C-alpha cells in the first residue's frame, strides 16, 4: 500500500532563511506526488505536483520540490522564507497506475512557523 | 468563478441529531471526495465518488452517508451513529487521471457537537 511520511510535525525558520520540509513516500513504482498548503481555517491549496519527467518542479509562492527516486523523496524547499509562508504543509501521493480508482494519500502535515 | 463551495462554514449539532454538509462544484469534475481533518492526524478519507449515482467508502465511513445524484453535488450526512463528529470537514473534486489525480479543495466546514 502507498504511504507518505513527513518528517517533523513542526518546523521553525527565521524570515529570509531556507525552508526545507521533508517528505518520503513508499511505492513500488514512481507515483504522482503533491504538496499542498493550508492556512488557518481554510481548505488546502495546491502548491505543486510531480506527474511526469521533470524531476524539479516549481510551484507557486517561490516553492519548489525535487523528485528523487533513489531516495524515495519529494522534499519541499524555498530559498528565503517570508512571514506569509507560515502555514501547514501536506505532502500527498497517488498511484500512477490504476485509473479512476486512485486516491490521494496524505501525510500528517508539517506546521511551518516563520520567526521575524 | 469556478470552484468548490461548502456550506455552512460552521455548524453545531446536538447529540442524536443528523446533519448534512453541502458541497457543490462547478468545475465539471467527475470525482468528488469528503475528508475529515483532526489536529495531528492529517486528512482521512470518508467517502468518494467517481461518477454520478456511484460512491465508495473511504477509510472512516462509519457514521457517515453520502449521495451523488448530480455531477456537481456531493452532500455528506453526519449521522447520530458517528460518536465523535467534531472536526473540520473538507470536500474536494478532481478531473481524474488526466490531471495526475490532482484534487482541489473547498474552504471546509467546521462541525461541533454541543
Confidence of residue B1 (pLDDT cuts 50, 70, 90): low
- Is the pLDDT reported for residue A97 higher than 90? no
* Beta carbons of A45 and B105 less than 8 Å apart: yes
Q: What is the mean pLDDT of chain B?
A: 92
Q: Assign A72 a pLDDT band (cuts: 50, 70, 90).
A: very high
CB contact under 8 A, B50 and A101: yes
Q: Which grid coordinates are listed for B51? A: 461518477
Contact B43, A90 (CB under 8 A): yes
Mutation pick from B6, B32, B43 vs chain A, by most beta carbons of A within 10 Å, is: B43
Residue of A nearest to B44 (CA): A106
Enumerate residues 47 to 76 of chain B having a beta carbon within 8 A of any beta carbon in chain A.
48, 50, 58
Rounded to a whole number of angstroms, the distance from the CA of A24 to the nearest CA of chain B is 15
Nearest to B34 by CA among B26, B19, B18, B23: B23
**Per-residue pLDDT, A33:** 92
Q: What is the number of other CB atoms lying within 10 angstroms of the CB of residue B26?
A: 12
What digits encode the pLDDT tens for the residues B69-112? 999 999 999 998 888 899 999 999 998 777 777 899 999 999 99
The minimal CB distance from A49 to the residues B43, B58, B102 is found for B102
- Would you state the pLDDT for residue A98? 57
Cα B69 to Cα B24, B32, B34, B51, B74: the distances in Å are: 12, 12, 16, 10, 8
In angstroms, the separation between the Cα of residue A51 and the nearest Cα of chain B is 6
The helices-and-strands tally (H runs, E runs) of chain B is: 0, 11
Question: Percent of chain B beyond pLDDT 70?
Answer: 98
Q: What is the pLDDT of residue B18?
A: 93
Contacts of A51 in chain B (CB under 8 A): 100, 102
Annotate A65-98 with b (16+ C-beta within 10 A) or e (fewer): bebeeeebbbbbebeebeeebbbbbbbbbbbbee
Predicted confidence (pLDDT) per residue in B40-59, tens digit: 778 999 999 999 999 999 99
The predicted pLDDT at position A105 comes to: 87
Cα A64 from Cα A47, distance rounded (Å) = 9
Amino acid at each position: 500500500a502507498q504511504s507518505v511520511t513527513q518528517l517533523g510535525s513542526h518546523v521553525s525558520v527565521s524570515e529570509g532563511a531556507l525552508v526545507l520540509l521533508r517528505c518520503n513516500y513508499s511505492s513500488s513504482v514512481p507515483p504522482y506526488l503533491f504538496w499542498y498548503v493550508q492556512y488557518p481555517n481554510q481548505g488546502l491549496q495546491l502548491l505543486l505536483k510531480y506527474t511526469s519527467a521533470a524531476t524539479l518542479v516549481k510551484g507557486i509562492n517561490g516553492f519548489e520540490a525535487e523528485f528523487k527516486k533513489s531516495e524515495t523523496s519529494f522534499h519541499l524547499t524555498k530559498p528565503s522564507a517570508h512571514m506569509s509562508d507560515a502555514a501547514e504543509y501536506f505532502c500527498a501521493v497517488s498511484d500512477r497506475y490504476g485509473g479512476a480508482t486512485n486516491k490521494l494519500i496524505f501525510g500528517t502535515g508539517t506546521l511551518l512557523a516563520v520567526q521575524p | 468563478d469556478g470552484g468548490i463551495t461548502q456550506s455552512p462554514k460552521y455548524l453545531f449539532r446536538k447529540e442524536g441529531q443528523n446533519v448534512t454538509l453541502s458541497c457543490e462544484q462547478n468545475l465539471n469534475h467527475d470525482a468528488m471526495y469528503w475528508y475529515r481533518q483532526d489536529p495531528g492526524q492529517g486528512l482521512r478519507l470518508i467517502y468518494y465518488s467517481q461518477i454520478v449515482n456511484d460512491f465508495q467508502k473511504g477509510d472512516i465511513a462509519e457514521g457517515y452517508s453520502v449521495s451523488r445524484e448530480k455531477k456537481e453535488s456531493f452532500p455528506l450526512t453526519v449521522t447520530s451513529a458517528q460518536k465523535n463528529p467534531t472536526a473540520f470537514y473538507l470536500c474536494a473534486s478532481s478531473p481524474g487521471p488526466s490531471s495526475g489525480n490532482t484534487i482541489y479543495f473547498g474552504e471546509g466546514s467546521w462541525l461541533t457537537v454541543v
